[in-house]
Amino acid sequence: MNMTTSKLETWIWVLIYGGLGGVLVGAFTLSFDEVVGHALIWSGVTIAAIGAIGIWVRSRMHEEKDKP
């Protein structure tokens, strides 16, 4: 699978912002249902962490030079 850097960067930011959004929804849900709130928070943290790992992966990728 050959993923371009722009697709990878898009997925990284979708994961980070989506995970942080899940943390926010989980924090607001805690007052209604503690179990669901904690589940949302931990899944959001996990998704955001995958995005952070994606930043590290992107930093290790080599740029392919355009051939004239």
Per-residue pLDDT tens for 39-53?
A: 999 999 999 999 999
- Per-residue pLDDT band for 14 (boundaries 50, 70, 90) equals very high
Record the tokens describing residue 29, joined without a space.
């849900």
Residue type, 2: N
pLDDT top residue among 64 and 58: 58
Give the model's pLDDT for residue 61.
83
DSSP assignment of 11-45 equals HHHHHHHHHHHHHHHHHHHTTT-HHHHHHHHHHHH
Q: Compute the C-alpha angle 7/11/14, nearest 5°.
A: 140
